[in-house]
Structure 1
């Protein structure tokens, strides 16, 4: 569990809490960037990562998945000066975010694997990540999924349509080029900015279409 000392001294209102899930789809930089931006905005992040998600963090970002607490503390050290984070192990079924009585503004799964998406679409709460998503659905709270897969099968599409009809925001990890990205970081920032737009959290991660150069 990684918690800023400030969080231990004062409770955080539900409007400043977001649950973030990272699963085993390619796109770990998206999830890490979102967490950093939320922390910088003073949000308390409740983070849960699937086992496959840890594997992708290792492969794509070089994290030491065998030392998870240390990896998280190192990755978010600077950002924790503004916000705070609680890390929940995947199999901790007694965690706060597993209950609808625990108030949070909503949940984002970024990236979201097709396996996790399928479990959520079919109510299969087999671990804390999918249970937390199920809580968002049953409590009528915002749930945002960032699927990262290509090509998509009919099963994938049907599961996404089913969730979209339930009010889940589906935000595919698709880059845009009208803002003139120059680096991989620019592409990651654009997608994370689109997610934060859907969360209703202000940011300056990309230049919007029609904005003046001045």
Structure 2
């Protein structure tokens, strides 16, 4: 399929999601299930990555600031802004594209080749709205939350690393955190978080929903979904930065 064929099929899938629910309770149950699967399932890796990103940022920033003219509180400012603007948004979203995206693609792909999606259509249930929409809505709810948790943990991990290595005292780190804080940076990070959440859930859902063949194709669809999601996240990162910064 060409690029335009993929784009057309992708937008048709998104259009097909919006229909009246056949049974609102079942849709709500599926939505809550996906919130747990995406949010709780990805939480351990988010915690681990965020702590180490913050710690490494502190150590490396302190190593590069060799001039005595630069106050050490600048380390905390750089770690704070790095975590909020890039590390906890873009880097973590690329990780989530692998964790969450491959799961969504393989789950829908398995349902497609085992003819469960065809069975839903025969029963008069819209599979796009029942299977895809709850995943995207759940992602839009929990992934920005994971990114906020990541930013907080990353900043705290930087403070802990600075204290343990003796690079920066906790009170100096706290002073640096409060200096030159731009609330717009947090706002911009949330813009990115919701954009990435939509891409992380919708692109793998498209690849999984349109799998043809057997189990080998599920693996290929999962790989394609992760690769395309990562590329689109990086493209969205540049586009949003050019538009809003």
Normalised by the size of structure 1, how large is the TM-score?
A: 0.29
Q: Which has the higher strand share?
A: 1
Of structures 1 and 2, the larger Rg is shown by 2
By relative contact order (CA 8 Å, sep 6+), the higher-ranking structure is 2
